[in-house]
Structures are given as structure tokens and as C-alpha cells.
Amino acid sequence: MDATTHPPPDETSLRYEGWRIVAVCFLVATFGWGLGFYGQSVYLAELRRIHGWPASLISAGTTFFYLFGALIVVFVAEAMRAFGPRKCLIAGLLAMACAAVALGQVRALWQLYLADALLAFGWAGTSLAMITNTVSLWFEQRRGMAISLALNGASFGGIAGVPLLVLAIGHLGFAMTMTAVALLIVGLVIPVVAFSVGRPPLQGAGPKMVLASAQQIRKDALRDIAFLSIAIAFALVLFAQVGFIVHLIAFLDPMIGRAPAALALSLLTIMAMAGRVLFSAVIDRFDQRLASALSFASQALALAIIINSRSEALLIGACVVFGFSIGNLITLPSLIVQREFDASSFGVLISLITAITQVTYAFGPGVVGALRDLSGSYTLPFYGCIALQLIAATLIMVRGRPQRRLTVSD
């Protein structure tokens, strides 16, 4: 579409096709996060139960999954430009379905790592960078709200995904459950994407020159204080957050049982969705960096309560507090980048932030698992997570030069 000869779409109209794309991305995010992010906690607990493998070795597979995925996700913007959003989303979903089947058939640790490698392709094609870049092709004025609504699928993946996985595994077994999930992706989600995602109206609105210089934009960003303070702060806090969430069921299970532990994780993700919805309605009125710092600090406080409590009610309540900011932590980087940097570099910068944070938090589950095995409890690694969250809360307030813009001419 030639943006110079056609009027811009009315993004405020409920009939605008972009809102259909938001609904599709919500569905994709539900499976992407349900299997690729929140599902890791279930995989760790189930593989330990079935095979008796050490938590550190299973967690290392999760670290490999995130690390390998980060190498792929940095090129999401270029892949979107070359193949279009529909083909990229379908490819990610196919990889996710194949990985689900493979995880259910794991019999040795090397097979787990192969399954995690395949899952990394699915994660890159269904998670933050892909969803954000897809939505941004349909929205400009209402981009922040559209991204927030689409990413609620991430929270719903935890709300519905984890309890349903645990319930299905209890009745069908791990292998059959993962196969059933794969069939659901192939039979439901992929057809929805194939028939609903068409040509984006904003695809031709200037990105050719910008995406051709994506390498230069990344180079300039890595020398920019404002960008680095965003990327590093969110990398540290997501390292702590992912490490905690992946081990949450394993931590709570001995104290309150598997079902209450799954409930705690479900409530955590419900609050992630509620927090994002409430936050998206008022965020434009506030300092988004300050809001990020307060979110980081609230997680640190909740985690301190979790470490020092043995009360089921207090543990679940602290998980609720922790979860309130989870959804915002995957939305806030996009909102800060949109406010502080040139719109033409949005897709490249979001892909780069996603890659940087993923490389960092890839080590979260493995480090937490290793420290747990070495110390004999989760106290030491969880206090380490608190320290990282407080450091991130300070770092995010480093703004660099005001009104900093990364453009092609930088």
C-alpha cells in the first residue's frame, strides 16, 4: 500500500482490521507463552518426576532454549520484511507444535536439548518481538494500546495453560498431553492465522530505507546510553523473573502441594493480565521509566515475602503481588522505545531489546537451579534475584541524553 496516495486507516474504529490482528496475536501469544515461557515450569517438574534428573541439568536445557532463541529473535524484523507476518507466524507455530511433540517423547538429556532447540524457533516466531512487530504493521497512533491488548495473550497462556497442562498430564500423561497440544496448534491456531492475517497497511510506509539499515540502527543503539539503560535494566529484572517463575512450582510443591502451587502460578498470571490492562489505561499520563522502577521494586518485595513465609495464604498472596507487574515488564520496553526513539526504528530496536534480554534471562533458570543444588535450598538464588531487581530499578532511571532519537542518519 502506498502511504502517499492512500489515507491512513482509522485506528479508532472498531471495524478497523487491525483489531482482528490484535485478536489473532492474542491467540498466538497464548500458545507462545503457555508453551514457551510458563510451560517451562511444568516441564521442569515433570521431567524431574519422570526421570529423576537434577534440576540444574533440566534448567540448563531451558537456558539453552532461551539463548538459542535469542540468536534467532534479533532478526525478526528482517524476517517480517522478507516474508511477511503471516508466513513468519505460521512458521513459528509449526515449530512450536513439533517441539511440543518432541518434548513429550524425551527419554534422554540430549533429546531434551534438541527439543529445546526446536522450541526456540517456535518461541522466536510467537513471542514478544514477533507479536510487537506484527501489531506495529497495523497500528501507529494506537500502537501502545494494541500491543498491550495483544500481549494479554501471554498472561492468558499462563492463566489457562499451566492449570490445563497439569490437569491433562494427570489424566493423559505427559507425552499424550504434549501431542494433543500440538494437534490443537495445527488444527486451530494455524488456520486462524492463515485466514485472518493479510497484507499490513503500514508495510510500505517508509520501512524499506530503515530496515535496509537495520545493522546500522543496532550499532548506534548499542552505543546509546538511553537505549542501553532500557535493555540492561529489563535484562536483569527478567533474568530474576524468569528464573523465579520456572522454579516456582518446584519451590512451592514441597510446602503446599502441586495443586496449590499450580493455583499460585495461575493467580500470578491472572494478575499479570489485570496489571497490564489497568496499566495500559493510564500509562501515558506517567513517567514510564519511573513506573518500571516501581514495578521492579514491587517484585523484589514480593519475592522477599515468598522466601521468608511458610503460610499458604501468604505465599499465594505474595505471588499475586509479584504477578501484578509481570505483564507490564513485557509491555513497558515497547512503550518506552515508542516514546523516546524514532518510530521508523521501532521494529529493529524492539527485536534487539528482545534478543538482549533473552540472552541474559536465558541463564536465569540454569543459575537458579545450580545455586539451588549447591546450597540445598532456593533461599540463596532467590535473594540474588532480589538484588538484581533492585539494581534494575536504579538503572532504568538513567535516561541519557533527552529526546534521544535513533534514525538512519545517526
Which tens digit of pLDDT belongs to each residue from 2-35?
444 455 665 566 677 888 999 999 999 999 988 9
pLDDT of residue 207: 41
The fraction of the chain above a pLDDT of 70, given in percent, is 90
- Cβ-in-10-Å burial (0-12, 13-18, 19+) of 48 comes to middle
Beta-carbon contacts of 344 under 8 Å, excluding residues fewer than 6 positions away, are 206, 207, 210, 407, 408
Which tens digit of pLDDT belongs to each residue from 356-377?
988 888 788 878 888 888 888 8
Between 294 and 334, the more confident residue is 294
| Predicted TM-score (pTM) of this structure | 0.76
Cell of 36: 514457551
Q: SS in 3 state form for 71-123?
A: HHHCCHHHHHHHHCHHHHHHHHHHHHHHHHHHHHCCCCHHHHHHHHHHHHHHH
* For residue 403, pLDDT beyond 50: no
The whole-angstrom separation of Cα 180 and Cα 157 is: 16
* For residue 131, pLDDT beyond 80: yes
Beta-carbon contacts of 35 under 8 Å, excluding residues fewer than 6 positions away, are 96, 99, 100, 119, 122, 157, 161, 181
pLDDT of residue 211: 44
pLDDT of residue 303: 93
Which tens digit of pLDDT belongs to each residue from 160-188?
887 888 889 989 999 999 999 999 999 99
Q: How many CB atoms lie within 10 A of CB 64?
A: 19
Angle between helices 379-395 and 363-375 (to 10 degrees): 140
* For residue 293, pLDDT beyond 70: yes
The whole-angstrom separation of Cα 28 and Cα 305 is: 34
The whole-angstrom separation of Cα 386 and Cα 294 is: 13
Mean per-residue pLDDT for 305-317?
A: 87
373: amino acid identity, one letter = D
Average pLDDT score, the chain? 83
Domains of the chain: 18-395 (1.20.1250.20)
Mean per-residue pLDDT for 124-146?
A: 83
Q: Confidence class of residue 281 from pLDDT cuts 50, 70 and 90?
A: low
Q: Where are the alpha helices (DSSP H) in 284-378?
A: 288-308, 312-324, 326-340, 346-361, 363-375
